Structure 1
């Protein structure tokens, strides 16, 4: 589905169902040099089980017009504008890796618009090594190979998406190559630089008021579980309801553990939607 956001075309996948703003909405935000398709299983299930879905392509990524945005806060503002274009007042916001920073910043600065916040494979700060930044800028195929090695803890996907024996590294490599080919020069470096430069994460976490779920991969070498501990503590100290779900996976949780990732997200979003409905009923 194409929206006009900030005078440019913006794409959001709706999970194979027509978008209906009257239903509870779940927004999915991808990571660096990825697109909406990383959420294929999760978004289709949501869309066929009571939610409206917007799995976005961030500016400059695949079907959304560029240029790519260079700051996390600018991506969060763009997300708010996309929700305006879709006629959505509030949504459960779900982000993976770089997308988790966008979701966090959005939920903090637009508190009335976030009913829930799910951060998948997150870290605050999300530091990117000099070697990876240099490879992303000057040797992008090498950077893609590096990220593939670090993102996966296994070669084959678990049932049911896409099935036993599926080559996760190859799938992710082709996706990143496609996003690179359709995007502007240096897109990978732009994304990683935005992650590396984002210094507001803990301050933003202290401002979040909606329920939060952290979903981390036990074998994640990119954003290891320990990298989310301070974030969880910050939420708790601010009085925000937060829990952490740990899965047996690396950084690419949605493909390595598709079903358990879906379970963690759907149970959280369903609970958030029920709370929102109950709150609205009590006000009336």
Structure 2
């Protein structure tokens, strides 16, 4: 696991694939870390794509306090790209990470080539009872997030769903209750997504799960319409996948990313 000194702390990341290839920088979601990208990044690397998955501050192995809002996270991601020697790069994110990617692309449009938003929504409101649980009852928060994160057992099987929930719980526990609560509050507060999407001029991919109950397909329309204002965006729906599509079907995510 390489690290880069950044703003008085260490930024941890994984770098997959040939370093000579055009880089895709990936940002994880709320309460997660770079490990969520492992299977996807490995699949892209096998296809000859360079993929860099980073831990935001206070997440995974990156030191420092977690950023308190989406714009601060986006600023940090661009600073990481500078520190990593990335000039022009593609940028993607899952859930909260998609908002971070969108904000960063809006802030530095000439640097970000392709933008990939996975499990995204703008705005991305978080139910008050989930926010309250994240602040006061982390175990309940984990249960609620797991409930809405994955496809139903009727589609993927009871054993598979249980394994996904257990892995997701372990990931959230590893990153800590305070980080999860802060991340969810940041998602809930950020209101600049549609305006940023409307300003987007480069190629964009919006990747949605067919049975996503956290960022449901029917609610994605405003973001999709804003991104498609210039006719340079593509919407892909993954069958039988929920919000946790990176875990549920990483091969399908890889295929969607390779199609452009």
Q: CA deviation at 1:240?
A: 4.7
Task: Verify: 1:143 aligned to 2:141, yes or no.
Answer: yes
- 4+ residue runs over 6 A deviation: 163-166
1:221 aligned to which of 213, 224, 228: 213
Q: Residue 200 of structure 1 corresponds to which residue in structure 2?
A: 192
For 1:261 and 1:48, the matched residues in 2 are separated by: 14
For 2:254 and 2:83, the matched residues in 1 are separated by: 27
2:37 aligned to which of 36, 39, 46: 39
Q: Residue 174 of structure 2 corresponds to which residue in structure 1?
A: 178
**Conservation of the 8 A alpha-carbon contact between 1:212 and 1:240:** no
For 1:136 and 1:164, the matched residues in 2 are separated by: 25
2:127 aligned to which of 113, 126, 129: 129
Task: Verify: 1:30 aligned to 2:28, yes or no.
Answer: yes
CA shift in 2, pair 1:172/1:155, >3 Å: farther
Q: Residue 63 of structure 1 corresponds to which residue in structure 2?
A: 61
Q: Residue 278 of structure 1 corresponds to which residue in structure 2?
A: none
Task: Verify: 1:6 aligned to 2:19, yes or no.
Answer: no
**Conservation of the 8 A alpha-carbon contact between 2:43 and 2:251:** no
For 2:9 and 2:155, the matched residues in 1 are separated by: 36
RMSD: 1.9
Task: Verify: 1:253 aligned to 2:245, yes or no.
Answer: yes
**Conservation of the 8 A alpha-carbon contact between 1:156 and 1:166:** no
Q: CA deviation at 1:259?
A: 1.2
Unaligned runs of 5+ in 1: 269-284
Q: Report the TM-score when normalising by structure 1.
A: 0.85
For 1:138 and 1:164, the matched residues in 2 are separated by: 29
Task: Verify: 1:241 aligned to 2:241, yes or no.
Answer: no
Secondary structure, aligned partner of 1:265? helix
**Paired residue total:** 256
For 1:144 and 1:165, the matched residues in 2 are separated by: 14
Q: CA deviation at 1:37?
A: 0.9
Q: CA deviation at 1:41?
A: 1.1
Secondary structure, aligned partner of 2:80? helix
Q: CA deviation at 1:91?
A: 1.3
**Conservation of the 8 A alpha-carbon contact between 1:157 and 1:164:** no
Q: Report the TM-score when normalising by structure 2.
A: 0.93
Unaligned runs of 5+ in 2: none
Q: How does 1:84-163 map to 2 (within 5 A)?
A: 84-155=82-153
For 2:134 and 2:160, the matched residues in 1 are separated by: 31
